[in-house]
Amino acid sequence: MAPHDAVLGWDEDTTAEAYDAFTREFPMYGTTSRDLARRAHLADSRLIVDLCGGAGATAQAILELAPATARVISLDNAAAMQRVGRRTLNDPRLTWVTAGAEDLGSHVPAGQADAVVCNSAIWKTDVPRVFTAVRTVLRPGGRFVFNIGGGFAGVRHDDEKSAHPGPSLNRLIHHVAARDYGYAPPPTRPAAPKLPLEAVTAHLSSAGLDLLDAEVVAQHGTVAEKRAWLSIPLFARPDGDFTHAQRMDILAKAYALTTPDAPTVTSWLTIVAQRPE
């Protein structure tokens, strides 16, 4: 089943507005979206699905690569995200559908999609159900392209391993929260990856999809970008009984201890699968 918080928080106007502002100011979603769209081989496509499409960053990348005659369906179950997307992305080729990823087959004709693309969200879905639905809507030879954050996939790119040592912004947040608010993080043990490649491969096989490629990709950013990300209400830290104002106070104090343009590296497991011909 999908995690309980798969929608919680996303369907709120404050989160949707902050998320959209982040995607316009910083390159992370544009870069990852263009990479996924490129891997989907869209040159001859007629119908493409942007799965868990949010406010449309990935749909925009798809539209830039797809033929002028292609149709794009952006499907997401957070209406607030789509309201923001409709305001900024007005293209007659794009249709917005408010629905869960698991219900993909109810909104896309069986065997008609040339590609399904999903950026940064597949792990939040009921993966076996979604993979089965993707297989249903893809035409023979159609591609399914998605990525999984390195922490969820249990992978690290070499660039991340060799990144400049020093306390991360997250670690500094915990330090400031402990110093100024008496925060004591709960004891944790290293968690097993939520969706490692072995599980992805097994789910794809069960759904009748072939794995074509799996690559660990590095995304380069800055501490300033990380701060902007952690300013989005849904991602604000630390966990626990804090108001958003308190979290923003902690974030500001932690950020003051960093170098804003210092480089950061995150890892992604990028998957290309296909419905057999």
- Using CA atoms, how far residue 252 sits from 5, 117, 225, 227, 233, in Å, is 26, 35, 13, 8, 14
Cα separation, 257 vs 214, in Å, equals: 37
Strand pairing category for 47-51 and 71-76: parallel
pLDDT digits (tens, 9 = 90+) for 82-101: 999 999 899 999 999 999 99
Quote the pLDDT of residue 189: 73
List b or e across 47-56, with b for residues whose CB sees 16 or more CB atoms inside 10 angstroms: bbbbbbbbbb
pTM attached to this predicted model: 0.93
Alpha helices (runs of H) in 40-168, residue ranges in sequence order: 57-65, 79-88, 127-137, 150-153, 158-161
Give the pLDDT score at 1.
44
Closest CA to 247 of 258, 262, 235, 259: 235
Domains (ranges, CATH) in the chain?
13-163+192-221+266-274 (3.40.50.150)
State the pLDDT at residue 161. Answer: 84
In DSSP terms, which residues pair with 214 in a beta bridge?
A: 271
Per-residue model confidence (pLDDT) at position 2: 38
For the chain, 277 residues long, the average pLDDT of each consecutive 10-residue run is 51 92 93 97 97 96 97 97 94 97 97 98 96 98 98 94 82 96 84 94 98 97 95 92 95 96 95 97
